[in-house]
């Protein structure tokens, strides 16, 4: 079995002392305001470990003296924060362990190798449940919260058949298609992983309490957010990228426009993963998103056999969809995906990019926001797929095929 499958089941209490120290440093690094996953990854790749990053931050030299073209190195304010941060106390790991929560870190044992394909991978991942995270045969089954009975039945049949074949079903624990897929995998006694947009101690939606209990007993729950984090709109796109990265194939069962499931599909395509879509009846809004994917070249999925063909390496769809037409995000209400407090500042940043690519410091000036606040907001807009980063610390409006949640 892959090392992720073995180590992923161990608790922080089972780590050696050196790894516990690295986990404490990683938890601190993940909480640094304005750094963001992409910035943290760059520093970890450069210096080798969370503890090494924090040691370097306290020294006289710049953390990233020679960033590659197009990469935004941490600004002075972020470096000041890094200089002040200290690893979280070790008893925090004991508290998490007592709650049945284990932690893995980017670059450490148990961290899923597939997440390293992300430009902005989660620096830490909180896990709960007896199953390991998937490393190879995993399929994301995603779709609308407002699923019809037709859609729920398709999701149950597809996920149940795949899980019976040993495929891990990855989804987002939401109402509708997600919940149907998880339940079918559990009923088939197969593996399933649920990625959530809040802390693992927050059962959202509340209607899924029994599903959360079953996942803790027979599956695995994952989140990059610490316990106590309440799910909010701006966190769902971050969850979606993890779903796409954990899975080798993403299948959209039923989705209108806009739909978070289509954002997951977009992330999968960016990663070079295969995307399939289940055709729906002509006319209903719940079919509009999947039909758009099919028009753009997604694989037609009518049974588990179709998905297994994609999973087992036959001709995929990523290359076919790479040249598909994309609509400009001027038409997308993506800013509505952000927390309420961010929407007005986000609107000002959005307006500042209306004339084309713009440097980050200029955007901060045009928006009238404090530099640190503008930087943090730029990271959230990029993570939500609303802005795209360009070489030279510039940003542009993102061109996406779907709307944000």
Domain locations along the chain = 9-99, 138-322, 329-400
Q: What string of pLDDT tens digits covers the 405 residues of the chain?
A: 333 332 344 456 567 899 999 999 999 999 998 888 988 998 899 899 999 999 988 887 777 767 666 556 666 778 788 888 899 999 999 999 999 999 999 999 999 999 999 989 999 999 999 998 887 899 999 999 999 999 999 999 999 999 999 999 999 999 999 999 999 999 999 999 999 999 999 999 999 999 999 999 999 999 999 999 999 988 999 999 999 999 999 999 998 887 889 999 999 999 999 999 999 887 677 788 899 999 889 999 999 999 999 988 643 444 433 333 332 333 333 444 444 444 456 666 776 776 667 887 777 777 777 666 777 777 777 766 677 777 767 788 764 433 333
* pLDDT at position 176: 95
Closest to 151 measured CA to CA, from 55, 61, 279? 279
Q: Which fold has domain 329-400?
A: Arc Repressor Mutant, subunit A (1.10.10)
SS3 of residue 48 by DSSP? coil
Report the alpha-carbon distance of residue 137 to residue 15 in Å, rounded: 27
* pLDDT at position 364: 76
Tokens 């709307």 — which residue?
A: 403
CA distances, 205 to each of 122, 230, 276 (Å):
23, 11, 26
Report the alpha-carbon distance of residue 283 to residue 227 in Å, rounded: 42
Question: Is cis: bond before 205, omega within 30 of 0?
Answer: yes
Q: Which fold has domain 138-322?
A: Rossmann fold (3.40.50)
* pLDDT at position 333: 38
Residues facing 195 on adjacent strands: 222
Please measure the distance between the N-terminal and C-terminal CA atoms of the chain and give it in whole angstroms.
36
User: What is the helix (H) or strand (E) element at residue 176, kind and residue range?
Assistant: none
* pLDDT at position 382: 73
* Cα angle for residues 384, 334, 233 (degrees, 5° grid): 65
* pLDDT at position 109: 92
> What DSSP letter does each residue of 93-131 carry, written as one string?
HHHHHHTT-EEEETTSTT--GGGGGSSS--SEEEEESSS
* pLDDT at position 405: 35
* pLDDT at position 78: 81
Please provide residue 98's backbone torsions phi and psi, each rounded to the nearest 5 degrees: -65, -30
Residues facing 328 on adjacent strands: 399
Strands 299-300 and 274-277: parallel
Same fold yes or no, 138-322 and 329-400: no
CA distances, 98 to each of 4, 94, 169, 343 (Å):
22, 6, 27, 38
Closest to 332 measured CA to CA, from 257, 273, 266? 257
Closest to 234 measured CA to CA, from 331, 375, 144, 334? 334
* pLDDT at position 122: 97
Please provide residue 8's backbone torsions phi and psi, each rounded to the nearest 5 degrees: -60, -15
SS3 of residue 86 by DSSP? coil
Residues facing 395 on adjacent strands: 358, 389
CA distances, 71 to each of 42, 131, 390 (Å):
9, 36, 8
């Amino acid at each position: 079995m892959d090392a992720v499958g073995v180590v992923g089941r161990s608790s922080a209490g089972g780590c050696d002392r050196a790894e516990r120290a690295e986990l404490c440093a990683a938890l601190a690094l993940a909480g640094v305001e304005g750094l963001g996953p992409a910035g943290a990854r760059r520093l970890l790749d450069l210096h080798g470990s969370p503890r090494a990053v924090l040691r370097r931050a306290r020294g006289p030299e710049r953390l990233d003296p020679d960033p590659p073209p197009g990469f935004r190195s941490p600004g002075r304010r972020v470096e000041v924060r890094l200089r002040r941060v200290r690893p979280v106390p070790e008893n925090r790991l004991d508290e998490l362990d007592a709650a049945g929560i284990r932690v893995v870190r980017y670059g450490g044992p148990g961290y899923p190798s597939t997440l390293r394909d992300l430009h902005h991978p989660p620096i830490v991942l909180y896990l709960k449940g007896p199953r390991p995270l998937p490393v190879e045969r995993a399929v994301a089954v995603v779709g609308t919260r407002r699923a019809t009975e037709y859609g729920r039945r398709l999701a149950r049949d597809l996920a149940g058949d795949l899980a019976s074949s040993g495929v891990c079903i990855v989804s987002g624990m939401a109402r509708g298609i997600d919940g149907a897929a998880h339940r079918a995998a559990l009923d088939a006694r197969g593996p399933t992983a649920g990625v959530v947009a809040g802390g693992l101690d927050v059962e959202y939606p509340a209607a899924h309490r029994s599903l959360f209990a079953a996942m803790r007993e027979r599956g695995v729950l994952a989140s990059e957010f610490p316990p106590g984090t309440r799910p909010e709109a701006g966190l769902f796109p971050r969850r979606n990228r993890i779903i796409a990265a954990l899975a080798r194939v993403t299948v959209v069962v039923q989705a209108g426009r806009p739909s978070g499931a289509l954002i997951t599909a977009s992330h999968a395509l960016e990663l070079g993963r295969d995307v399939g879509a289940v055709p729906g009846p002509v006319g209903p809004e719940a079919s509009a998103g999947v039909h758009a994917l099919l028009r753009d070249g997604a694989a037609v999925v009518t049974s588990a056999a179709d998905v297994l063909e994609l999973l087992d390496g036959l001709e995929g769809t990523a290359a076919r969809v790479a040249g598909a037409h994309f609509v400009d995000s001027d038409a997308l209400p993506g800013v509505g995906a952000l927390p309420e407090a961010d929407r007005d500042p986000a609107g000002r940043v959005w307006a500042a990019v209306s004339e084309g690519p713009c440097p980050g410091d200029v955007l901060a000036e045009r928006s009238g926001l404090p530099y640190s606040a503008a930087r943090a907001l730029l990271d959230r807009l990029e993570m939500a797929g609303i802005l795209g980063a360009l070489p030279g610390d510039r940003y542009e409006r993102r061109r996406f095929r779907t709307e944000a949640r």
